[in-house]
Structure 1
Amino acid sequence: RAVAVATSRSPMAPAPAPAPAPSSPAATSFLPASCAATNALDACYNLLLPYVDTFHGNLARVARAAAAIAGARQRDFAGELGRLKLRGTGAGKVADMTLADCFNEVSTSNLFANETLGHIDNLVGRLGSREDFDSQRVLAQELLYSTESGLMQCVDWFHGAGEADVSSPVGKEVIDGCTTVSAYVDIALMLVNAIKF
């Protein structure tokens, strides 16, 4: 499925990345080749371009950068959900309970962001046997997939709660935030999927 990364300046939109430093042609050409593994080549490229000189031709480093950015966005989003939860949705008890469930889901899955990075770090260093490598990749994939599934589950919960909840300002903000963060996670997941021993 195609994903788009938000570029608006809403409270849940990502902060702009630092300006990229001058890069070698090899480093710059490696990034689009890496991002071709995703369904969001342009978004992947723009997201990771500021870090291009840190990849050194290693796809696992690209995936790690994407996963680190996704984890940071998820952490920021969990904080925003916590603030929204304190205010309430203004759309009634069901919407408030749905928001609380989303906050719990996003916050809980974010606890595994560092573990995900640890597994990807093992892919960067290519430590151990092929079996060890494959095991680390599968663990990273499972954690990223679980995170993305949880975010989309929040969207489903809001849709299941009713039209009033979906169309409320808080409901729209939560759905937009889940979709945006999910797009970052999806880029990281597709990059991890492409890493070979």
Structure 2
Amino acid sequence: MPMAPPQSLFLRLLVPLLPVLAAAFAIPSPASPAQDKPPSDAAADKFLRACCANTMDAAVCYDSLHPHASSFDRNFVKVAGVATFIAYARLRSFDHELRSFLRGGGTGAGEDVVAAVKSCVKYFPDVFYREDDALAMLRRLETAAGRREEKAKSNLNTVNLDISEIFDFTNMCLDGLVSSGGGVLASPVGKMMLAGNATVHLYAGIAIDLVASIKL
């Protein structure tokens, strides 16, 4: 029987681990249920659980958005907007971590590791370029008037594409990391990159699922 290409085998092994890696290495949100009292309105909590039910990880979706539950006012677009903000924040934190490593000179990490990190971070500025516009479009769609605008569907599609770029570029980062070889993957920086990619991938996936569920 022919063996699967190493890259495809690695990706198949990685995908089931995404939630585990994300939970282990995720950067803390600005607030968490342990720090803030849960919303007194049980309806707000129920609404959030319903919003998260069909995302790629309902539990992570709920936990990350729970501190904001009382502010959603049963507005699904607001939920998607906060999830999108969090997805960009996770990517920004990951990008900062990688660039901090590069600013430190990558001492002792090896040329292959440094090259893998440089290859990864080069993609992210293109993603951040669209962040403000994506969030602004979602804010307009929070209102009934905004959802009635002639360009509402076009704006929603644009937001979906913008968030999907987080997926696309983290996938490129991961592909480059895998192709760097087992030595890079097994290094501390390689493991950090795997965990960071998994975290960003998960939160971007949740945002994409929520945005895709918006009804105009």
TM-score by length of 2: 0.82
Q: Give the superposed CA RMSD.
A: 2.0
Indicate whether 1:30 and 2:47 are aligned.
Answer: yes
Show the 5 A alignment for 1:1-80: 4=19, 6-8=22-24, 10=25, 13-16=26-29, 17-18=31-32, 19-80=36-97
Q: CA deviation at 1:169?
A: 0.7
C-alpha displacement at 1:73, in angstroms? 1.6
Stretches of 4+ aligned residues off by more than 6 angstroms:
none
Q: Residues of 2 paired with 1:121 and 1:37: CA distance? A: 22
Structure 2 residue 124 is the aligned partner of structure 1 residue 106: yes
Partner of 1:6: helix, strand, or coil?
helix
* Cα 1:130–1:53 shift into 2, 3 Å: same
Distance 2:88 2:58 in 1: 20
Instruction: Say whether the 8 Å CA contact 2:48–2:66 is kept in structure 1.
Output: yes
Q: Give the 3-state SS of the residue equivalent to 1:88 in structure 2.
A: coil
How far residue 125 of structure 1 moved from its aligned partner, in angstroms, is 2.0
8 A contact 1:152–1:179 mirrored in 2: no
2:51–2:76 Cα contact (<8 Å) kept = yes
Q: Which runs of 5+ in 1 are unaligned?
A: none
Alpha-carbon shift at residue 107 of structure 1 (Å): 3.5
- Per-residue CA deviation, residues 125-169 of structure 1 (Å, 9 max, x unaligned), is 241646522111100100111111101211111101111111111
Equivalent position amino acid for 1:31 in 2: L
Shift in CA distance, 20/120, structure 1 to aligned 2, threshold 3 Å: farther
Name the counterpart of 2:164: 145
Residue 113 of structure 2 contacts residue 189 of structure 2 at CA under 8 Å; is this kept in 1?
no
- In our comparison, the structure showing a higher alpha carbon Rg is 2
CA distance, structure 1, for counterparts of residue 55 and residue 107 of structure 2: 35
Equivalent AA in structure 2 for residue 109 of structure 1:
V
Gaps of 5+ in 2: 1-14
CA drift of 1:91 comes to 4.7
* Number of equivalenced pairs: 194
| 1:92 corresponds to which of 81, 92, 110 | 110
Q: Distance in 2 between matches of 1:149 and 1:128?
A: 27
Q: Partner amino acid for 1:37?
A: N
Equivalents in 2 of 1:149, 1:89: separation in Å? 29
Between 1:185-194 and 1:34-43, the stretch displaced more is 34-43
Amino acid at match of 2:22: A
Would you say the 8 A contact 2:77–2:142 is kept in 1? yes
Change (3 A) 1:65 1:131: same
